[in-house]
Amino acid sequence: MPEGFSFPPGVELWIPFVPEPGMTRGYHLLTVVGRLNPDATIEQARTELQTLATQAAADNPSTNKDWGVQVTSLLEGQVGSTRPALLILAATVGCVLLIGCINAAALLMARAAARRDEINLRAALGASRSRIARQLLTESLVLALCGGALGRAAGRWVIDPLLALTVLPRAPEVSLDRWVLLFALGVSIATGIAFGLAPVIALVRQPDILTPTPRVTLPLRRFRAALVAVEVGLTVVLLAGAGLLIRSFVRLQQVETGFNADRILTMRFFLPRASYPADRAASHYQEMIGRLAALPDVDAVAAISHFPFAGLSANMVFDVPGRQPAAPGEQLTAEFRAASPGYFRTMGIAFLNGRDFTDFDRQESQQVAIVNRAAAERYFPGQNPLDQSVRLLGPKPRRIVGVVQNIRHRELASSPEPEIYIPHAQYPLGAMFVGLRARSGDPGRLAAAARASIRSLDRDLPIASVKTFRELLDASLSRRRFTLTLLALFAATALGLSAVGISGVLSYSVAQQTREIGIRMALGAARRDVLRLAVRQGMVPVVAGLTGGVVASFAATRALTDMLFGIGPHDAITFATVAGLLLTVALVATLIPARRAARVDPLSALRLE
């Protein structure tokens, strides 16, 4: 492997896999990585492995029934889950780019019209249509390339802060390399040509460059109004998507985790098996917990094999002694956790019935377990699960001594799953998390004292990860936050560009209609009538674009369905808020040039040629 190889991400050391004592075929935890033969395909590998999985299910129905195999490429496995979000962001970038092009095209058309006398003079001096068209396109390309250069410079400043918001796979490999620069150059040239074509087409369609033409023709007005409508419609789509993600994210953060997440610090340990065999592992964690609990700022300490939101889980098959399966080959599965006494108190997980683990729940004692409400309701419906038995991790049945509240374990958006907890002393794992609850304040300040306490027990013991629970929770939300942040930034940019475009187009229209406005006012039109006329001219394409944008958003926001939580892709409140916001911004953008039109001096306007 090359220098810097890291698989799974963040791993720097690999050791041979040796099954833990008691692990069976029902311990569904491992992932297999293999390299295909040079002439093999993923489909062929999937077919062969599915055959093996089917045979394993037939040979071991108690543990492998209904379990198959998923075969994907390593690349797909690493980045496949991010593809929908990145495609949506790519489409968003395209919308913002299109809005920018529309703005530039409208402004360049206005500029070309304002340069009518200059263009006529060039034509009178012998310049051909093609020569003038090349000049206009060259100016557009220079403008686009300057904008591309500025964007590239801005990208160097914003890429690192944006990547810091997420744990996207292969994020460290993201950089502004030569391919990105070539792409930016190509896009700059393409957009320069795209928005530069509008004034060129208007020039070419003019019958004779030297023939006097009205300053504002009806087709030109309609074309500019259509540009504004398209611009507003695209902005509505972006605002609707951003609004849905914002409301979804707010709802997600309001979800109850099922435990008290305040003031929790986590530390992860991997006890070397040579130095810490199974019997010594349990006593070492017990002593470690005792030393950490003696720290003055620590309120409670406990150990757990799979800490909430740490990205780990272990699904296991179990059975209920004496119970016949409801269907042939039926399997009972639950998430497995090994916990030390006091874990539920440390995490603030409520007991619904029964008791916690104690120091008397040892290897030689009666085998016990605690289940959560989801497991009790699914596997013991209408019954009291206390004193019922389950069998896992060995032939001895375990008596259920407690039922605890459900908690969110993988992510806030996922529903609680059935869980079975067993005492760590009865199944001593070397890899465990230790959770500390601070008495007050930031739990991160406990890290130094906790490290020192552990080093005093074993100076060679590695501490794999020290994080507050808030850091774990933020990491679980990072992809959503990354998508939300970028989409919100793009939507805000689109809204700003739309406001500038509406105001710019209307300002130019007012400037071109100064004489018309002067005539209206000379014939008795009041200033408020002129103001109302200008606002109506600016808002008509806005309303048309808003209507079309809402219709387009109903189709486009379906792509966000898998990213939403607690709301649908057609949320009425979001769409109403977006419409109100856009109308307000558009009204403000039209009032500025409209007020300028209302202040036109009729006498000065009538003197204009």
Cis amide linkage into residue 8, ω under 30° from 0: yes
Q: Which of the listed ranges 63-67, 329-333, 370-374 does the model predict with the highest average pLDDT?
A: 370-374
Say yes or no to pLDDT of 375 above 70.
Answer: yes
Q: Does residue 265 lie in a domain region?
A: no
Give the pLDDT confidence score for residue 420 in this predicted structure.
93
Closest CA to 404 of 379, 356, 372: 372
Domain-ending residue, one of 45, 71, 97:
71
Do 525 and 571 fall into the same domain? yes
* Domain housing 55: 32-71
Sole residue written with tokens 């944006």: 162
Give the pLDDT confidence score for residue 423 in this predicted structure.
92
Do 125 and 216 fall into the same domain? yes
Look at 30 and 50; give whichever has higher pLDDT: 50
Give the pLDDT confidence score for residue 514 in this predicted structure.
61
Give, as one character, the DSSP assignment of residue 462.
-
Do 286 and 340 fall into the same domain? yes
Average pLDDT of span 379-408: 88
Start-to-end CA distance of the chain, whole Å, equals 77
Q: Does residue 3 lie in a domain region?
A: no
Do 418 and 350 fall into the same domain? yes
Give, as one character, the DSSP assignment of residue 80.
G
Q: Does residue 26 lie in a domain region?
A: no
Sole residue written with tokens 């808002």: 539
- Residue 368, phi then psi, degrees to nearest 5: -130, 170
Give the pLDDT confidence score for residue 372 in this predicted structure.
92
Q: Does residue 597 lie in a domain region?
A: yes
How sure is the predictor about 266, in pLDDT bands with cuts at 50, 70 and 90?
very high
Give, as one character, the DSSP assignment of residue 426.
G
Say yes or no to pLDDT of 228 above 90.
Answer: no
Domain-ending residue, one of 428, 460, 492:
460
Do 245 and 311 fall into the same domain? no
Do 532 and 515 fall into the same domain? yes
Do 453 and 482 fall into the same domain? no
Do 338 and 408 fall into the same domain? yes
Give the pair of three-digit tokens for residue 246.
């914002």
Give the pLDDT confidence score for residue 123 in this predicted structure.
77
Give the pair of three-digit tokens for residue 423.
């005492």
Average pLDDT of span 135-146: 84
Handedness of CA 171, 175, 181, 182 (dihedral sign): negative
Do 91 and 209 fall into the same domain? yes
Do 436 and 515 fall into the same domain? no
Q: Does residue 11 lie in a domain region?
A: no
How sure is the predictor about 256, in pLDDT bands with cuts at 50, 70 and 90?
confident
Could you give the CA distance from residue 598 to residue 527 in angstroms, rounded to a whole number? 5
Give the pLDDT confidence score for residue 586 in this predicted structure.
84
| Domains of the chain: total | 3
Give the pLDDT confidence score for residue 419 in this predicted structure.
92
Could you give the CA distance from residue 98 to residue 490 in angstroms, rounded to a whole number? 12
Could you give the CA distance from residue 561 to residue 413 in angstroms, rounded to a whole number? 13
Q: Does residue 111 lie in a domain region?
A: yes
Give the pair of three-digit tokens for residue 465.
């990860």
Average pLDDT of span 168-175: 72
How sure is the predictor about 330, in pLDDT bands with cuts at 50, 70 and 90?
low
Q: Does residue 25 lie in a domain region?
A: no
Q: Does residue 8 lie in a domain region?
A: no
Do 241 and 296 fall into the same domain? no
Give the pLDDT confidence score for residue 609 in this predicted structure.
46
Instruction: Work out the mean pLDDT of the chain and round it to a whole number.
Output: 81
Please write the tens of the pLDDT for every residue from 8-25: 776 778 888 877 666 777
- Residue 351, phi then psi, degrees to nearest 5: -85, 130
Domain-ending residue, one of 46, 71, 96:
71
Q: What is the largest CA-CA distance in the chain?
A: 106
Do 359 and 492 fall into the same domain? no
